[in-house]
Amino acid sequence: MHKHMVSLSFLLVFCSLAMHAQNGRTSLPEAPQLQSVAQAGAPTMPAPASTSSAPGTASAPQPLTRQQAEQLALKNNPRISVASLLAMAQKQVVREVRSAELPNLSGNITGVDAEEGSRISTGSLSASRMLYHVGAGVNLSQLITDFGHTRNLVASSSLQAKASEQNKLATSEDVVLAVDVAFYRALEAQATLAVAKSTVSARQAVSDQVNALTASKLRSTLDQSFAQVNLSEAQLLQLDSQNQYGAAMAALNEVLGTTQNAQYHLVDTTPPPPVGSSVDAMVALALQQRPDLHAARLAHEADVRFARAQRDQLLPTISSLGVVGETPVGSSQYFPQDWYGAAGVNIGIPIFEGFRFHAQAEEAKLRAQASDEQSRVLVDRIVRDVRTAWLTMSTAQQRMIVTAQLLSQANTALDLANTRYRLGLSSIVELSQAQLQQTQAQIADANARLDYEADLAALRFQSGSQP
């Protein structure tokens, strides 16, 4: 009778502990899906307004979508400002060069006190007689033609201005890609931290169960030690995840153009835009739309026009000249009237400049050929980058399928291991291994989904089809 009572007591204790273990098992984290991870509560981090707060201070990070992050970066990132300022500066170069085609009007007021009638006996050839006088007048010069030299310089600077606009657009796309990559990396860190927190909670429950079983002499202290080791590993994973999350947020803030330690609750509910049906279609689209390739081609055309302008220096320059003014003070012997005026045409013919014009023309021609080859280099690199991005995206798509299967299998294995351990059919080692595999599968599944979206963003950038 006493033996039956002991058996009954043992059965009641075991059933109670088994129910407690089952409750602990239900708290284990499920496979994090993309939206559920993105919409999960953000980790406890310092508030944006208080960058000196210690980690762990309760805060309510503001939600941030990928589109909002892109808009913030395009507004605040200094690279955008630099590209815009350079484009505006290049437009002023066009005005500077075009000024040679417009009239040049200048005024002069001159007063001379000299030894009357003396002459300059040294220096360059000039009007040698020095006379006391005061005069004022204006000079006008107008280029008639230089046979294409100035016209080609204006065309070259205009093409450079258009290239700067394309470089500005390329910089914007670079920033958008950097934002997308930083956003998805931070979203991965956020998902990993959510998994780590859930893992700590689940392993804490298991540790409590094993401690209770050990106290009841139903499990050995070895099981208790293994459970504590698993809990410590989960806590280390949480600490590492917290650090990675903070670093990812710092990288995101940098590309958003802020120096504050702003924290966000990242949300990505918008499906990625569709891409081309084949890699060849993406290559053709890239060669048609990439702004950096347009900029390189425009720069080559600008070099060609500049080479023509340098060659045109060997041709004559015809310009008109005019001058008018008055001399109210001066000797009547040398200034018979109180005003003066003249007009004329000047033809400048370069005869010999030490082969400087020939060398400049040849240099510009060679640089134009070099820029053409650089455009070809860029075309080859774009084709390579598009094909590589396509392969990476395809591999990421396949990894999503594999990691989803891995997570399903890991969940099933953990269910079986947990049941076997509660029934006393396996050791704590088997349960620990199943827990570790599930945690790794959860992280791999979340990362695979977010890596796929990051790879899609890279492919959109490489093909020049940024939304």
β-bridge pairing 133-145 and 104-112: antiparallel
CA 300 to CA 364: how far, in whole Å? 11
Task: Note down pLDDT in tens along the chain; length 467 residues.
Answer: 444 443 434 333 334 444 434 443 333 333 333 333 333 444 433 333 333 333 444 457 889 999 999 999 999 999 999 999 999 999 999 999 999 999 999 999 988 888 777 878 777 667 777 888 888 999 999 999 999 999 999 999 999 999 999 999 999 999 999 999 999 999 999 999 999 999 999 999 989 988 998 898 888 888 889 899 999 999 999 999 999 999 999 999 999 999 988 899 999 877 666 677 789 999 999 999 999 999 999 999 999 999 999 999 999 999 999 999 988 888 777 777 778 889 999 999 999 999 999 999 999 999 999 999 999 999 999 999 999 999 999 999 999 999 999 999 999 999 999 898 888 888 888 988 999 999 999 999 999 999 999 999 999 999 987 75
Q: Where are the alpha helices (DSSP H) in 257-314?
A: 279-289, 291-311
Burial of 341 (0-12, 13-18, 19+ CB in 10 A): exposed
| 437 domain-assigned | yes
CA 446 to CA 407: how far, in whole Å? 10
Q: What are phi and psi of 118, to 5 degrees?
A: -70, 165
CA 266 to CA 191: how far, in whole Å? 10
Question: Which of 13, 63, 448, 442 is CA-nearest to residue 263?
Answer: 63
> How many residues does this entry show for the chain?
467
Q: Which two tokens stand for residue 297?
A: 């081609």
| 207 domain-assigned | yes
Beta strands in 235-293 (DSSP E): 264-266
Q: How many domains does the chain contain in total?
A: 1
| 163 domain-assigned | yes
CB 456 within 8 Å of CB 393: yes
Question: Which of 260, 155, 194, 151 is CA-nearest to residue 36?
Answer: 194
CB 433 within 8 Å of CB 413: no
CA 288 to CA 292: how far, in whole Å? 11
Write out the H or E segment, with its range, that includes residue 374: helix 356-422
Q: What is the pLDDT of residue 125?
A: 66
Q: What is the pLDDT of residue 271?
A: 67
Q: Rounded to whole angstroms, what are the CA distances from 62 to 71, 263, 267?
A: 16, 7, 10
Beta strands in 88-223 (DSSP E): 104-112, 133-145
CA-atom Rg of the chain in angstroms: 39
Name the pTM for this structure. Answer: 0.79
Q: Rounded to whole angstroms, what are the CA distances from 280 to 246, 248, 274, 390, 463?
A: 40, 34, 15, 10, 11
| 250 domain-assigned | yes
CA 360 to CA 148: how far, in whole Å? 16
Q: Which two tokens stand for residue 152?
A: 């080609």
CA 265 to CA 42: how far, in whole Å? 5
Per the listing, tokens 């010999």 go with 352
| 108 domain-assigned | no
Fill in the amino acid letter for 244. Q
- Identify the CATH number of the domain in which residue 93 sits: 1.20.1600.10
**Which structural domain range is residue 440 located in?**
31-44+59-101+147-313+363-462
CA 76 to CA 78: how far, in whole Å? 6
Q: What is the pLDDT of residue 36?
A: 39
Q: What is the pLDDT of residue 387?
A: 96
Q: Which two tokens stand for residue 132?
A: 């006391």
Question: Which of 306, 313, 308, 310 is CA-nearest to residue 352?
Answer: 313
Helices (H) and strands (E) in the chain, counts: 10, 6
Q: Which two tokens stand for residue 381?
A: 């690199």
